[in-house]
Chains A and B, each alone.
Chain A
Amino acid sequence: MSKMTLEELRKLREAKKQEAAQRDTEGKDTLVIVGMGTCGIAAGAKDVVDALLDELKKVGNENVIIRQAGCMGLCHVEPTVEVRSPGIPNTIYGNVDAEVARKIVRQHIVDGRLVNKHVYDKPAADIIEQ
């Protein structure tokens, strides 16, 4: 990649915006929150954000909002990722590494299925497969 200028970046942004406007995205907004306290960073949350972005780009869903929060108070299962996706109860995942982050994108955000093994805060006992 050659060194990008601010003007080139602005043009790319416009192109993305038009692309997004052409898709029907109403009511499909997903919010992903990554715990980035000292505990999260030490456990590898930086790699998780990187993997999330990368995988979202691959599956072509770039409307997702990614927020970096502080510590969620679940230090023992860091890195933690909370996903708020329409149609699925809000879910907190624990022990998330880059690979699990990719799974969360493909399975939870795209297919609407929980990544069962990493659900920390159970949305409801009856929808988790043991």
Chain B
Amino acid sequence: MHYTLCDCVMDLIQNSIEAGSSHIQLNMNQSADSLEVSIRDDGCGMTDDELKRATDPFYTDGIKHKHRKVGLGLPFLIQTVTMTDGQFDIRSEKNKGTEIDIRFNLANIDTPPTGHIVSLLYQVLCFQGDYDLTAVRSLSKDGGELSYQVNRNEMLDVLGDLESAASLGLLRDFINSQEEDLLS
């Protein structure tokens, strides 16, 4: 089971990257009692049948690990959401992509801690692969909404690479400064 909500989100983004997406859109909107996350990718997608099986913990496509019989990413998320009165919806079309909408209920006592959003954001940007990712993080409070956005290609352009500790450190500082500004 994942310890934080950010861990669940990271797992889903990894799915999108492994599905060969060229662009992934991640939106995270937080209010006092909910965290709404949506993920849109243009990866390989799933047929209705595959989609049904993807939510079964005792199913995996067997591509990554030949002898393995479990796949836990989506089942972990579904468990977390159903335990805590949240909402979850997944739609997918073969060769088109996958869309996931989640509403974590922050008011439920059993909802795991949100986790560290900054580390989630910089880590989903620096997986290996040729994909673009746009993350929009927003916070609704006192009737207003504040937000910032990070784009992977833009960061690659500014930083040169997203692999060296120097670049990753700068990326983290950058996102941290956006997050601090949001929360202040």
A63-B14 in contact (CB<8A): no
**Contact string against B for A residues 46-63, beta-carbon threshold 8 Å, 1 for contact and 0 otherwise:** 110110110011000111
Give Cα A112 to B149, complex, Å: 40
Give the interface segment out of A64-72, A82-90, A122-130.
A64-72
The smallest C-beta distance from A94 to any residue of chain B, in angstroms, reads 17
Which residue in A2, A44, A67 is a CB contact (below 8 Å) of B163? A67
The smallest C-beta distance from A21 to any residue of chain B, in angstroms, reads 12
Which residue in A17, A38, A68 is a CB contact (below 8 Å) of B126? A68
B169-A68 in contact (CB<8A): no
Give Cα A46 to B126, complex, Å: 12
Give Cα A41 to B172, complex, Å: 19
A65-B127 in contact (CB<8A): no
A62-B116 CB under 8 A given contacts A2-B177, A13-B159 = no
Give the interface segment out of B1-9, B29-37, B43-51, B96-104.
B1-9
Binding site for B on A (CB under 8 A): 1-4, 6, 9-10, 12-13, 16-17, 20, 36-39, 41-42, 44, 46-47, 49-50, 52-53, 56-57, 61-71, 73
Which residue in B10, B76, B168, B170 is a CB contact (below 8 Å) of A9? B170
Give Cα A65 to B167, complex, Å: 10
Residues on B with C-beta less than 8 A from A3 are: 177-178, 180-181
A42-B181 CB under 8 A given contacts A12-B170, A13-B158, A16-B170 = no
Which residue in A2, A39, A47, A56 is a CB contact (below 8 Å) of B181? A2
B172-A38 in contact (CB<8A): no
A46-B76 CB under 8 A given contacts A64-B165, A67-B128 = no
A16-B166 in contact (CB<8A): yes
